[in-house]
Amino acid sequence: MSAAVALAPRATRREWIGLAVIALPCLLYAMDLTVLNLAVPKLSADLKPTSSQLLWIVDIYGFMVAGLLITMGTLGDRIGRRRLLLIGAAAFGVASVLAAFSTSAGTLIAMRAVLGIAGATLAPSTLSLIRNMFSDPAQRTFAIGVWITSYSVGGAIGPLLGGVLLEHFWWGSVFLMAVPVMVLLLLVGPVLLPEFSNASRKTARTGCRRCVSRREWRSASHSCAGSRNLRTR
């Protein structure tokens, strides 16, 4: 075991730059949990949502993220962690633009739900990529620390950046912060990040795999429903 650790290759500059690239969307993922709170007064005056709609606008992002994390991790194992990350980044960027320019409460709720689905791809895929990028135990520990810190920083600075944007722009500007970061990830991700999947597993690719997939999506729907029930109590 000690010999295997000693022979583990150390990360190069490419891996560390890749870590910085994947830490940015993780930061935005956490920011989206808190950044909308300050925009509620302006948003309410513009879209005039009901109290129930306003509750869904604020909370549906967290519901979808919490309910789909495990499912998205399994999906990343099958189709590739980098591929899932890039698909999620593209969906997150498009949904952010559509949310920013929503003209009704229903549209904003739908876009926040899409943001939650896309956001659920970020945590499992980025953590799995870190495990593949950093073989040295000490470097991997440090990289995971950076990954965790990005979430903490995102949650803390979300209201601060949101307040600055709302001071000068309309409420939709809080969603547009994600667009440049997701574009950067889509441009450099294929170059800096390795691809990895568990396609080598000898699971059946027909009825059995389909059956497992149904169970996973059913479990995800139950998780979303459960988190909603906890919030409404």
DSSP 172: T
Instruction: Look at 215 and 63; give whichever has higher pLDDT.
Output: 63
Q: How do residues 100-137 score in pLDDT, each as one tens digit?
A: 999 999 999 999 999 999 989 888 888 888 888 888 88
Predicted pLDDT at 157: 86
Mean pLDDT of the chain: 81
| Cβ pair 91, 118 in contact under 8 A | yes
Q: How do residues 5-45 score in pLDDT, each as one tens digit?
A: 556 678 788 889 989 888 988 888 888 878 888 888 888 99
Predicted pLDDT at 77: 83
Q: Give the global pTM.
A: 0.79
3-state secondary structure of 204: coil
CA distances from 183 to 44, 74, 159, 189 (A): 29, 25, 23, 10
pLDDT tier for residue 207 given thresholds of 50, 70 and 90? very low
Predicted pLDDT at 197: 67
Torsion angle, alpha carbons of 223, 225, 228, 230, to 10: -70
Predicted pLDDT at 116: 92
CB-based burial, 29-44: b 16+ in 10 Å, e otherwise: bbbbbbbbebbeeebb
pLDDT tier for residue 213 given thresholds of 50, 70 and 90? low
As assigned by CATH, the class of the 12-197+204-232 domain is: mainly alpha
Long-range contacts of the stretch 217-221 (C-beta < 8 A, 24+): 217/71, 219/70, 219/71, 220/67, 220/68, 220/70, 220/71, 221/67
- Range 53-61 average pLDDT: 90
Give the separation between CA 172 and CA 182, rounded to whole angstroms.
17
Out of 41-55, 121-135, 174-188, 206-220, pick the least confident.
206-220
DSSP 177: T
- Range 51-55 average pLDDT: 91
- Range 156-166 average pLDDT: 86
Predicted pLDDT at 35: 82
The answer on pLDDT for 224 being more than 70 is no
- Range 138-154 average pLDDT: 90
Domain residue limits, the chain: 12-197+204-232
pLDDT above 90 covers a percentage of the chain that reads 24
pLDDT tier for residue 204 given thresholds of 50, 70 and 90? very low
